[in-house]
Amino acid sequence: MSIKKSAKKALRQSKKRALRNKKIKDDLKTLIKLARRAIETKEKDKAKEAVAKATRAIDRAAQKGVIKKNNAARKKSALMKKLNALKVK
């Protein structure tokens, strides 16, 4: 059974996109983890900086379609909630 030229191209594109999306998601998870750790150490300046970096990365991922917009909003909300709880204490 032969595979059409367009199907081969679609497969190549799909693999390339999957790799790119995986890299973005991995980086995103790392940044979120770093932000959570910074919040746990209770250093407000570092935590604020880490959350800002994570938020930018989350927004970029949502904009590129790697994660859905509601997923991004939920992640950002959770981070901000933890950061604000740190500020109150």
Where residue 34 sits, what CATH number does that domain have? 1.20.58.110
Q: Rounded mean pLDDT of 38-58?
A: 95
Residue numbers of the domain that contains 16: 5-88
Q: How many structural domains are present in the chain?
A: 1
Q: Rounded mean pLDDT of 4-32?
A: 96
CA distances to 6, 46, 58 from 63, rounded to whole Å, are 27, 26, 9
- Mean model confidence pLDDT for the chain: 94
- Model confidence at 1: pLDDT above 70: no
pLDDT score for 88 = 74
Cα pseudo-dihedral 8, 12, 15, 21, rounded to 10: -130
pLDDT score for 3 = 82
Q: What is the pTM of this model?
A: 0.85
Q: Rounded mean pLDDT of 38-63?
A: 95
